[in-house]
A and B are shown apart, each in its own frame.
Chain A
Amino acid sequence: MITVLVLMTLGIGLGFFVGKFPKVIKGVDKMTTWSIYLLLFLLGIGVGLNEKIINNLHTIGLQALILTIGAIVGSLVFAYITYKLFFKSK
């Protein structure tokens, strides 16, 4: 995780200098989109190759899904309240 943060800090530093060139920014945005595609593609491969996940998908998958929905909905409700109370006035 440290490497990730260092790389991003380097990117932010570089970004300060290339911020004046809209063409470069457009290129960076495009590459960002394709990096997301690549990461999800690789995540798909990882899940597909992981027999532990695939073999148990039908039985415990449902439990995992409803827990996820609970966590996300809970977070969204509290985020909505926090946003309305403390952040929206800007």
Chain B
Amino acid sequence: MKNSLIILGFFALGLILGLTRFLPEVIMESDFSLFALYLLMFLVGIGIGADRSSWRVIKETNIKIILVPLCVIIGSLVGVGAISIFTPEIQLKEALAVGAGFGYYSLSSIFITQISGETLGVIALLSNILREIITLLAVPIFVKYFGKLAGIASGGATAMDTTLPIISKYTGKEWAIIAIFSGIVLTILVPFLVPFILEVL
């Protein structure tokens, strides 16, 4: 909990600095977050490699591992579908497309903006950023009440990178491989599933 508050504090500080433009040009012009992500992934890799029990999980779970991204797909789509039924201003198709971003906000919002216009694109962007932020803040609570797959499920596509450290920390390093697998499957599916929902369904 303390950790989540510190994370939220850093986010809020960044938000205020961004809003007030109280920043040097260099930070506003270039995207440092990509390099920060690279560093983070390298560190997370070391953590996984150093943990001897990491690979045992894959051996023990084998084919069952495919159930993890599958339950995230079904869960996300059923969830946003239910929301659209109770919210007349959101169409089912639009809700499904936003939900099929699985937290991968950059790519899903680009696709949705191109197919359905900017408004839904921004909703997709916000919704999927929120999915990442809520996951980062609430993984300890989710894992406590919904079991060891909760962080991986909530993180969706981000379980392979940005939310992996926090998932790994509160679920155990031995689950990191499953988180990465699920995240990769969902990340690969986003550019296929989002246009499919909007154009074919």
Binding site of A, secondary structure by majority: helix, strand, loop or mixed? helix
Q: Which residue of chain B lies nearest to A9 when distances are taken between CB atoms in the complex?
A: B45
Contacting pair A11 B44 (CB below 8 A) = yes
Q: How large is the interface on A (under 10, 10 to 19, 20 to 34, 35 or more residues)?
A: 35 or more
Bound: A50/B187 CA distance, A: 24
Q: How large is the interface on B (under 10, 10 to 19, 20 to 34, 35 or more residues)?
A: 35 or more
Contacting pair A19 B11 (CB below 8 A) = no
Contacting pair A70 B79 (CB below 8 A) = yes
- CB neighbours of B146 from chain A (8 A): 76-77, 79-80, 83
Contacting pair B126 A53 (CB below 8 A) = yes
Q: Which residue of chain A lies nearest to B155 when distances are taken between CB atoms in the complex?
A: A75
Question: Residues of A with Cβ closer than 8 Å to B?
Answer: 1, 3-5, 7-16, 18-19, 25, 28-29, 31-33, 35-50, 52-54, 56-57, 60-61, 63-84, 86-88, 90
With A54-B19, A80-B147 given, name 12 new contacts (CB 8 A): A25-B47, A35-B39, A41-B13, A42-B33, A47-B129, A48-B18, A53-B122, A70-B80, A70-B81, A72-B134, A74-B77, A74-B79
Question: Residues of B with Cβ closer than 8 Å to A?
Answer: 3, 6-8, 10-21, 23, 27-28, 32-33, 36-52, 60-61, 64, 67-68, 71-72, 74-83, 87, 89-90, 95, 98-99, 102, 118-119, 122-131, 133-136, 142, 146-150, 152-154, 156, 161-162, 165-166, 180, 184, 187
